[in-house]
Amino acid sequence: MKRILIFSALIVSVLGCDRVEDDKSWLDGYEFHDDFYYTGLSDIQKVFLDPIENEYLVIFEADFNEEVLMNIEDKGFMLTSYPTDVYYVFNDDFTIPDYMRNCMSVRIKGIGDIEDIPHVIYSDNLYFSHTGSLEGVSNKLCVFIDESKGNQHYVDVLKYAEKLKIIPYDYNKYSEYMFFACTNDSYGNPAEIANWFYEEKNWQASPIWSLGEWL
């Protein structure tokens, strides 16, 4: 059955780097954390994380590539990866902000204020897992949609996605995963948001941000 979704325009209202201040009473005191995240469906495991000091992922609007790279250097950062296109598999059921349709990512290192870099959609620390993999290399996460619960689970996931200010961009009915992107307006990074889904709603969710994962 085709689902017709109207996703609130509030997720696209601000492209800057300031987190949005709003009513958070619905969180009931929950504290977002990214010291680990959950992975797996039937055999749930924790992947423990350590932030890499002064190393970051930056996702920005590709139309301003030269300006962004110049600002990165001017702000005292150095590139640790080449700028690359960010690909999302867009689903026509979702309203996708224009800026997500043409963006790039780069990894940087240095001491400075990332919030001073213009045209940034998302930025956050890079991490090492305790198994040695590089983590934090995308702004994506997925949530498992339990089709046995009918359409209501699909609707509920989207309802909380809007509250958390994450952007749905695809739903794969065969794998039953819905895919989301975080921005600097979101309530957290992909690990923090995925942890909230699991710990508060008991819905399986994981970031898609390990180097080598399908991004």
Q: What is the pLDDT of residue 21?
A: 54
pLDDT at 210: 85
DSSP string, 38-86: EE-SSS-EEEEEEEEEEEEEEEEEGGGHHHHHHHHHHTTEEESS--EE-
- Residue 95: both structure tokens together: 């309203």
The pLDDT tens digits for 108-147 are: 999 989 999 999 999 999 999 998 899 999 999 999 998 8
Shortest CA distance to 10 belongs to which of 20, 23, 24, 25?
Answer: 20
**Low-confidence residues of the chain, pLDDT below 70?**
1-22, 212-215
Return the SS3 of 9.
helix
Distance CA 35, CA 184 (A): 19
Q: pTM for this one?
A: 0.86
Q: Which of 140, 139, 96, 136 is nearest to 120 (CA)?
A: 139
Going from N- to C-terminal start, the domains of the chain cover: 35-210
